[in-house]
């Protein structure tokens, strides 16, 4: 069974600085997709970034980028130039081949001014 582990329950960062959130996963599949979702206090789950496992190039979306290490089954999220609006719960998720998402337990990120 696929599992997703986020080992950092909480993190904080100063505004404008860079922070990295960790995620590891376990799967026997070779082709799969990984996601980072953000859930602010408003509770809407918002897609941050997506990575296809067959692509070696790390995905980037503006201030958000990932470090995808397939052999190590690691998928970390880097947020550059952190903003107050980045304060949220961040979930790492694995998309199974049957289209079901498996989520980690989440990391609470607090951006401080």
Partner 1 sequence: ETGVTQSPTHLIKTRGQQVTLRCSSQSGHNTVSWYQQALGQGPQFIFQYYREEENGRGNFPPRFSGLQFPNYSSELNVNALELDDSALYLCASSLDLAGGPGTDTQYFGPGTRLTVL
The whole-angstrom separation of Cα 93 and Cα 36 is 6
Query: Which residue, 16 or 97, has its beta carbon nearer to partner 1?
Result: 97
Helix, strand, or coil (residue 86) = helix
Query: Which residue, 19 or 106, has its beta carbon nearer to partner 1?
Result: 106
| Positions that interact with partner 1 (CB under 8 A) | 4, 31-33, 35, 37, 42-47, 50, 91, 93, 95-106
Query: Which residue, 18 or 44, has its beta carbon nearer to partner 1?
Result: 44
Min CB(102)–partner 1 separation in Å: 7
Min CB(94)–partner 1 separation in Å: 10
E strands, 1-113, are 3-5, 10-14, 19-21, 24-26, 33-39, 46-52, 60-61, 64-69, 74-79, 88-95, 101-103, 107-112
Min CB(78)–partner 1 separation in Å: 20
């Amino acid at each position: 069974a696929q599992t997703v582990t986020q080992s950092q329950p909480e993190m904080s960062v100063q505004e404008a600085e860079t922070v990295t959130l960790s995620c590891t996963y376990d799967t026997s599949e070779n082709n799969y997709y990984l996601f980072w979702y953000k859930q602010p206090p408003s509770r809407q789950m918002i897609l941050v970034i997506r990575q296809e496992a067959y692509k070696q190039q790390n995905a980037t979306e503006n201030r958000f980028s990932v470090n995808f290490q397939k052999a190590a089954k690691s998928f970390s999220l880097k947020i550059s130039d952190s903003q107050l609006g980045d304060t949220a719960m961040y979930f790492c998720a694995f998309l199974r081949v049957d289209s079901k998402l498996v989520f980690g337990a989440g990391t609470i990120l607090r951006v401080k001014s």
